[in-house]
Structure 1
Amino acid sequence: MHATARGGRRLGAVVAAIVALPLGLGAGVAAAWGGAGELFVADATPTPTETPMPPLPSASIDPAPPRTCSITGTVTQPNALDAHGLVENAETGEVLFDYGAEQPTPTASVMKLVTATTAMYELGPDTRFETKVYPGETEGTYVLVGGGDPTLRAGGPSVYGDRAPSLDDLAGQLRERGIRVQRIGYDESLFTGAQWHPSWHEHDRADGAVGDVSALMVDAGRQDPAAHYSPRTRTPAQDATNAFAQKLGVANAGAQTPKAGSEPVATVQSVTVRDLVHELLLNSDNIIGEALARHVAISRGTGSDFAAISEAQVQVLRELEVPTDAFNGADGSGMSLENRATALTIMGIVELIQRDEHGLGELREYLPQNQISGTLKDRLPGIPSGQVQAKTGWTDEVFGLAGFMTLADGTRLRFAVFVAIPPASGQRTTLDNRDALDAIITDIYQCGTGLRGSIRTVSV
């Protein structure tokens, strides 16, 4: 394994460490490094030898071009709010820009990088979740038992496509087996606790961004299953059971318990965790994020409610040697006001993806691409199409973006940048703040490896 540096990030042996923040970065950041212009240099005292080594010919040294490109003005403009960020050369590990990277910030949907990574690692990419029908305690009563698959379809057109299982599949199995159902009840007990996080905004339910989270739901609770953004139900399990009861021509028996010791009489499986993560990252599906976070918590034994998520995520991140200082995973989607992460934590995950450690490299292919796909389809027009692959994030408190960019010469950078509302300001983000974030990312691309903000040269 690599040695650790800066709160546990895996890096190679440090060959030099120099901090030279440009004037104008801000007093808070300069103080974090002991004052602008202060240098920290590794001990370079030579070890005495009998015969001094001859100097290398100057022709063998290929010095890096000077780094003189500053984005300080863009980062400190008013619409950039309280900005935090970290940019590194993905090929050398060199830190090109560090602006409050150790300070926690709200995450918005950049939190989904945490959820995706922990789900792929903990649950496995080929895992599927099962929705089952069991005999009930009363003769003729059967129980629809949720297995934590929010993509289960009522049966019609869905944003999740025909590969997602449907209630029609379950009803067909019951008919094929000649099972006569008189009443159908439901069991959503796999997930516990509140189904709506108290810090979520009510308008996000009406706008269709998120809804109540249940282990039993159809079409992620959307009123219009074919629309990504559709108002969400407040009673997901009851709605799913009503839909199933209609297909069977029977009554909804309400909450029920399967008969003790019974075996399922019908079962459908979700698509794989890999497929769910793809949808999570590409289209920023919040309900999938909540379901996956609970499955990770259940697997880790921390619980099955909102309160169990953060502990489970921290356990996995530490196992992956990602720094977790000041981290709080209040939910799996990033919608909560209480989520906190540093740019160092997010960069640790981006680096895992780049290195393809534990098979996580495929996550890069699921990230939106600027001007091409997902939540970046209409963004970053100042950068050639497809040169940025990154997870977006947006709430009333913050805009964020984290992932990779490929420069014109083929060099790759990795980055994590946030523009957040200052604490207790009472403000809400606007599209002007998103444009400020996009301007920062565009300037990073234009500066490339000439970006100047801090210097920490490492071997990888």
Structure 2
Amino acid sequence: MGAARGSVVGRRGRERGGVDGRQASRDAAPTSRRAARQAARAGRGGVATTLLSILLTLVLAVAAGAGGAALATHWFPLASADAAQPHSAQLLSAATQPQQALSAPVRTCSIRPETEAPAALDFHGLIVDAQTGEVLFEENPEGTHPTASVMKLVTSTSALVTLGPDYRIPTRVYPGNVPGSVVIVGGGDVTLKSSATSYYEGATASLAELAAAVEAAGGATSVGYDTSVFGGDPWHPTWEQKERTDGYISPITALMTDAGRTDPNNMYSPRTTSPAQDAAADFASAVGAPLDDAVFVEPGSEPIAEVWSQPVSELVEYVLVDSDNVVAEALARLVAIERGTGNTFEAVDAAADASLEELGLDASTFVGADGSGMSRDNRASASLIVSLVEAIHTDTDGLGFLIDFLPENSLTGTLKDRLGTVPAGAIKAKTGWIDQVFALAGTMTAEDGTELIFAIFVPVENPDGSQITGLGNRNALDAIAAATWSCGATLSNY
């Protein structure tokens, strides 16, 4: 992607006008000549009349030369009216002079010292003017690299395009195949509450509601559970086990509560290794019946109870502001199911491709190994991510509200404690970090007021797992963003 995106150069002009003393003399000259002719005609009556005419002509000429058109007006009102016409024409001509175009601001501000710093690693980036689409800076914008959580921009937009903003995820209870039994069936709502409170403050579904509905329908003698909506491995092979104990992600199943947190109110609580079994056991306890793995849904039966998640338009806020990996993975699976590509990790890529293409974007540089960006096998280019942010920025398919869900520097989400040298809220961007890359993509209002769209990545040269990023690399990424903010419209590609 180059400067062919196009540019609009602002134009300013100024009017010039006014009449100087020389112009006044030229305006007054016709008055003197007319006076002389009138005097000559009158002179045929006698010498005295002729001398008087000559004298008056000399007086008028002197007055005109000194800018004394007022004197001529006093003595000869008709001649004065005629004399005003050239003056008015000159003013009109001056007022309608064409405006003069001024050149655009000279782009001389460089961020090369920041992008070429050793800590910037194998830097990739693209920065454009949000108003004109003009490319202000690019470095290998078509090259691919791991995405980290910038992947969540793809997942969130895919969910909105494919499922729709109003789609809610169900959790249902069906009659079991054993008399008196029931089966809780997960639909992919990972925000289902295990208790009255939850980290997900807006969560609208809970085990308590389901249990109350079952009791109202006659209770249960035993409880089974069903997670078949999602298939395949619940844990991606490239995910580090430490991410589970660090509180970033849990095994992905269609039935779980609180996204697998062992402490439902703690954002970074360690995650369980058996989220479906734990959720089913909590439900059975609430119903007052034993959990029985041998109980299955009675074929052809209708649900006896159901609860629904928040709509997708609200779930994506968790995905973007807090970078919630489990909600992202659930939405990516649901998109794949809706697109008909499958219900496993392997189905995510084709479903995301189809969603991007529906938005009119070129997905040729995209590889979706998962929905959260936790896998080092994800790939995207800075060019693709900028195009996606542009689609959000222009409210394509009603995606514009996502801008409000991007973390803001020094204020919200994963940027709350970053980029303190830039005015708070000037940068709105999705963050990303795994061992192989630090990333940042979104919008910023630069110091000069220019609005920019950007995607910048500090990846290791070889993302096979042999190289690891550190805090110094994140600092290098933030230094690039801050320098871009300082440059604004004068940002140079050199």
- TM-score higher than 0.5: yes
User: Secondary structure at 1:257's aligned position in 2?
Assistant: coil
Query: What amino acid is the match of 1:375?
Result: T
The answer to whether the 8 Å contact 1:70/1:452 transfers is yes
Partner of 1:93: 133
Q: Could you tell me how far 1:257 is from its partner in structure 2?
A: 2.7
Q: Within 2, Cα distance between the matches of 1:14 and 1:444?
A: 19
Distance 1:15 1:366, change over 3 A: closer
Q: Deviations over 1:36-89 (max 9, x none)?
A: xxxxxxxxxxxxxxxxxxxxx884423211000111111011111111000001
TM-score of the two chains, using structure 2 as the length reference: 0.80
Higher RCO (Cα < 8 Å, 6 or more apart): 1
Summarize deviations over 1:83-133 as a string: whole Å, max 9, x none: 100000101111000011100011000000000011011111111010000
Superposed counterparts of 1:5-404, under 5 Å: 6=1, 59-161=99-201, 163-177=203-217, 179-254=218-293, 256-404=295-443
Percent sequence identity over matched residues?
Answer: 49
* Letter matched to residue 262 of structure 2: Q
SS of the residue aligned with 1:252?
A: coil
Residue 435 (structure 1) aligns with: 475
Maintained 8 Å contact 2:148/2:374: yes
Paired residue type of 1:129: I
Q: Are the structure 2 counterparts of residues 303 and 255 from structure 1 closer, same or farther at C-alpha, using a change threshold of 3 Å?
A: farther
CA distance in 1, matches of 2:393, 2:449: 15
Specify the code of the residue in structure 2 equivalent to 1:266.
Answer: A
CA distance in 1, matches of 2:5, 2:345: 37
Return the alpha-carbon distance in structure 2 between the equivalents of residues 150 and 377 of structure 1: 25
Shift of 1:184: 0.6
Asked if the contact 2:394–2:400 (Cα under 8 Å) also holds between the matched residues in 1, the reply is: yes
CA separation of 1:255 and 1:387: change in aligned 2, threshold 3 A? farther
RMSD (Å), alpha carbons: 1.9
Shift of residue 164, structure 1, vs aligned partner:
3.0
Contact 1:238 1:254 in 2 (8 A): no
Structure 1 residue 365 displacement after superposition: 0.5
| CA distance in structure 1 between the partners assigned to 2:448 and 2:479 by the alignment | 21
What does the per-residue CA deviation read over 1:374-425, in whole Å, with 9 as the maximum and x for residues that have no partner?
0000000111000111000000010000000012343210000000011158
* SS of aligned partner of 1:384: coil
Q: SS of the residue aligned with 2:137?
A: strand
In 2, Cα distance between equivalents of 1:384 and 1:299 = 42
- What SS does the corresponding residue of 1:394 show, helix, strand or coil? strand
Contact 2:8 2:132 in 1 (8 A): no
Equivalent AA in structure 1 for residue 485 of structure 2: Y
- Whole-Å Cα distance in 1 between the matches of residues 293 and 425 of structure 2? 49
**How many Å apart are 1:155 and its aligned residue?**
1.2
Partners of 1:270 and 1:155 lie apart in 2 by: 15
In the TM superposition, what whole-angstrom CA distance separates every residue of 1:139-198 from its partner, at most 9, and x where no partner exists? 011100001000001014211025331100101112223x22010100000000000000
Q: Deviations over 1:220-269 (max 9, x none)?
A: 00111111111111111100000011111111112643111111011000
CA contact (8 A) 1:187 1:255 kept: no
The change in CA–CA distance for 1:425 and 1:220 in structure 2 (over 3 A counts) is closer
- Partner Cα distance (1:419, 1:228) in 2: 26
Inter-CA distance 147–70: structure 2 relative to 1 (3 Å threshold): same
Instruction: Detail structure 1 runs of 4+ shifted over 3 Å in the superposition.
Output: 11-16, 57-60
User: 1:186 touches 1:255 (CA, 8 Å); kept in 2?
Assistant: no
Deviation at 1:440, TM superposition (A): 0.3
C-alpha deviation, 1:13, in angstroms: 6.7
Instruction: Flag the structure with higher helix content.
Output: 2
Is 1:87–1:414's contact at 8 Å kept on the other side of the alignment?
Answer: yes
Residue 448 of structure 2 contacts residue 488 of structure 2 at CA under 8 Å; is this kept in 1?
no
Deviations for 1:310-368, whole angstroms, at most 9, x for unmatched residues?
Answer: 00000111121112222100000000010000001101110001100100000001110
Aligned residue pairs, count? 406
Segments of structure 1 that go 5 or more residues without pairing to the other structure are 1-5, 17-56, 455-460
Aligned to 1:53: none
AA partner of residue 209 (structure 2):
D
Contact 2:215 2:287 in 1 (8 A): no
Inter-partner Cα distance in structure 1 for 2:165 and 2:192: 18
- Equivalence map 1:417-428=2 (5 Å): 417-423=456-462, 426-428=466-468
Structure 2 counterpart of 1:396, one-letter code? D
Tell me the SS of whatever aligns to 1:161: coil
Query: Looking at CA atoms only, which structure, 1 or 2, has the larger radius of gyration?
Result: 2
Rounded Cα–Cα distance in structure 1 between residues aligned with 2:235 and 2:223: 25
* Inter-partner Cα distance in structure 2 for 1:414 and 1:257: 51
Q: Secondary structure at the match of 1:69?
A: coil
Report the 3-state secondary structure (helix = DSSP H, G, I; strand = E; otherwise coil) of the residue aligned with 2:187: coil
Between the aligned partners of 1:346 and 1:95, the Cα distance in structure 2 is 14
Deviates more, 1:200-209 or 1:153-162: 153-162
1:33 corresponding residue in structure 2: none
2:174, 2:184 within 8 Å by CA — same for their partners in 1? yes
- Structure 2: which 5+ runs fail to align? 10-96
Counterpart residue number, 2:491: 451
Q: Is the Cα contact below 8 Å between 1:187 and 1:256 reproduced in 2? A: no
